[in-house]
A and B are shown apart, each in its own frame.
Chain A
Amino acid sequence: MTEIRRHVIAVLIDNEFGALARVVELFSGRGYNIETLSVASISQDKKLSRITITTFGTDKTVDLICKLLCRIVPVHNAAELSKNDDYIERELCLAQIISTQQQLADAQKSLKNFRSQIIDTEEDSTVFEIIGSSKEIDEALKILENHGLATVSRTGIAGGFKGKKRLDQI
């Protein structure tokens, strides 16, 4: 219970100003850092948003945060995805390298086993799009460090339960 571990939490919330601040405050008020956060509206009418958060903390505190999240007026549902292993996560990363042609060729070769592609090139700058779990992206970036890695932009993860299990059925 007191062991610090990584937690992934998903929240369905009305898309209104201040909503994200209400969510974030529950973490910051407890001295918890949010490692990643992604948010976007997910309904056609743009009225509902989904937030995915990763944080490090104890099970007990994260359980309480999840209950408190549910208490926030505009929150429809909130739950920890990472309670068991039955969840999926993906992150997108844009990684720019400044490199010689040889370094670029090496980088492409090294990233062969990752879901990546080049989405922008200009002179000696190349931007890779990499998709995977956070762990996979960490690994890809580690490789690129040896090939002229310059700037990185990561989305943080989007996550969900495996199979038909839904957030509003927890």
Chain B
Amino acid sequence: MVKLKETNQFSGAEIIVKALINEGVDTIFGYPGGAILPFYDALFLQNRITHILARHEQAAAHSAEGYARSTGKVGVITVTSGPGATNTITGLTDAYMDSVPLVCFSGQVATTVIGTDGFQEADITGLTRSCTKYNYLVKNVNDLGYIIHEAFHIARTNRPGPVLIDVPKDVQNSFGIYQGKVEINRQSYQIKQRKFSLNHDNIAQAVDLIVSAKRPIFYVGGGVINSGDEACDLLAKLVRHLGFPITNTLMGLGAFPATDKHFIGMLGMHGTYEANLAMHECDVMINIGARFDDRVTGKVSGFSPDSKKIHIDIDECSIDKIIKVDVAINADAKNAINALLEEINRRKIGNRRQEINDWWQKIQKWQSIKSLSYEASKKTIKPEYAIERLNFFTKDSQPFVSTDVGQHQMWTAQYIQFDKPKKWLTSGGLGTMGYGVPAAIGAQIANPQDLVICVSGDASFMMNMQELSTIKQYNLPVKIFILNNRYMGMVRQWQELVYEKRESQSYMESLPNFMKLAESFGIHGIECDKPDHIDEKILEMINHPGPVLFNCIVDQSENVFPMIPAGSSHNEILLGSQAKQYVTKDINAV
């Protein structure tokens, strides 16, 4: 029964709006439906929050991710019950894997109907338990305000992640007390935060290793970006002060300037030759905010066999999970880097460039191999060439770049130079095809004046291409740059290397006419299949004031190299010229 409205009482729907405003939220992404209608009505009656209507709830979730990752703020999603909520699961899992702070509100059938197989009912708290940092089913409207503020606190603190709040329709409709933004005092969560106190012995041990290092390397991941711009500045200070080489993970690109001479490229399965060999041969590894992911380590038993390892991570679960380390520092990156700098200054340790000169010479020798080189072509556009030219024409404006998943993602990671954090939006952990376009929408909404490019592939693009409609509705000048090779390129590459070229289901039959597709959505289309024309077409794309769909028709058979074959170690990395030496050591490795 709906209670009559009393003084200082608000409906649950109004409480959600008020709490969002109190959290500083001005933009949300979502899709209405039956069980969330009371909230959408409250939204209609206010003017502080802008709602971006996605065309699919999965896309709303990825847009919220793009928004969150390009700003450092919490992304917010509002969807209805049942299919609305289940459609967000891929986005929530993606955010969980890549530590993106999100709060997702899902409508739910009325509390009296829960558990009766009601229309559009799904047990969404059960379904999302393993892909959210935490989730709530709100049964009493008086708890709603506190829960929302606690959810934001949990989403953004410690290792960030997605939090879901399931709000039954009767809870949105009934009236209750909202006490405003209150301090979060959840004891069990405070215990976790208290753990991140820096232990001086650990810092001292780490600095001992740093001083003794003859072949050091910084291995830096997305944790530094999540820690904030200050953490990235401190990292740059630390690396330059010591004169050590640094490699970034896929998630860490932009945490340290790619154009700095200390940077030796991305590491991992498709990382540079120099980064992977340096990881293999180093004697001291300083891991900050990376989690020894299998894309990075390759064969675990052959991973960096002769090094002492320092691991700084906010998530204790990531420490000693895959690789046993010598010095573990369970802390936020910013605080840990700061403590390292203080200890280094206290001991008056200066630049170590001269002491490690032999190491740098070795690295330069590896760099001279130019592992990212490729065979140029005058006939077809090499995808690497297309991205190189894209980087050439856009790097000065420091664009936000999102990608989907596959070959184009790796080429973009290899050839676009990120000098600043939060510019690079890619699905690293989950590897979600369909991430790129909605993520670019989120980034463009958050940064309306900036250039936002989505590099995609023909297959990935089609997974969320309905979002062209969202782009049109909000007139977002997103540039979608499709490397169209008429294949699921990375699947085809594995089939070529591992399955004797049996191209099982990886050919993209019946692709749409992308020019007409763009036109039908009212978006400017550009097509290019000649290497000679790529420069002018890219310039046309950048200079077009509105959204662009760029169909870049590239070489069909190009493979991503260098490549560490699945189940191999860093020192078994293959260059493009060595593709024939590919040997599958572990058919179960992915």
Chain A contact residues, CB within 8 Å of chain B: 13-14, 17-18, 21-22, 25, 29, 63-64, 67-68, 70-71, 73-77, 168
Contact = CB atoms under 8 A, between A and B. Distances in A.
A21 B135 CA distance: 12
A22 B315 CA distance: 18
A73 B189 contact: yes
Contact of B125 (A18, A29, A63, A168): A18
15 contacts: A13-B188, A18-B129, A25-B129, A29-B130, A63-B320, A64-B317, A64-B321, A67-B317, A71-B317, A73-B134, A73-B154, A75-B188, A76-B188, A76-B191, A168-B191
B316 interface: yes
Contacts of B129: 18, 21-22, 25
B395 interface: no
Contact of A73 (B133, B137, B316, B320): B133
A168 B317 CA distance: 18
Interface string B107-144: 00000000000000000011001100111010000000
A78 to B, nearest CB: 11
Given A68-B317, A73-B154, A21 B192 contact: no
Contacts of B189: 73
A71 B130 contact: no
A21 B137 CA distance: 14
B581 interface: no
A7 to B, nearest CB: 17
B316 A70 contact: yes
B140 to A, nearest CB: 13
A71 B316 contact: yes
Given A64-B317, A70-B316, A17 B188 contact: no
Interface residues of B, number: 20
Interface string B180-193: 00000011110110
Contacts of B125: 18
Nearest to A64: B321
Nearest to A68: B317
Contacts of A21: 126, 129
Contacts of B186: 73
A25 B130 contact: yes
A49 to B, nearest CB: 12
Nearest 9 A/B pairs, CB to CB = A73-B134, A67-B317, A76-B188, A74-B188, A68-B317, A67-B316, A71-B317, A25-B130, A73-B189
A76 B137 contact: no
Contacts of B154: 73
B223 to A, nearest CB: 15
A139 B233 CA distance: 65
Given A18-B126, A70-B316, A73-B186, 8 more contacts: A18-B135, A25-B129, A25-B130, A64-B321, A68-B317, A70-B192, A71-B317, A75-B188
A71 B187 CA distance: 13
Contacts of A70: 192, 316
Nearest to B126: A21
B192 A71 contact: yes
Nearest to A74: B188
B317 A73 contact: no
B187 A76 contact: yes
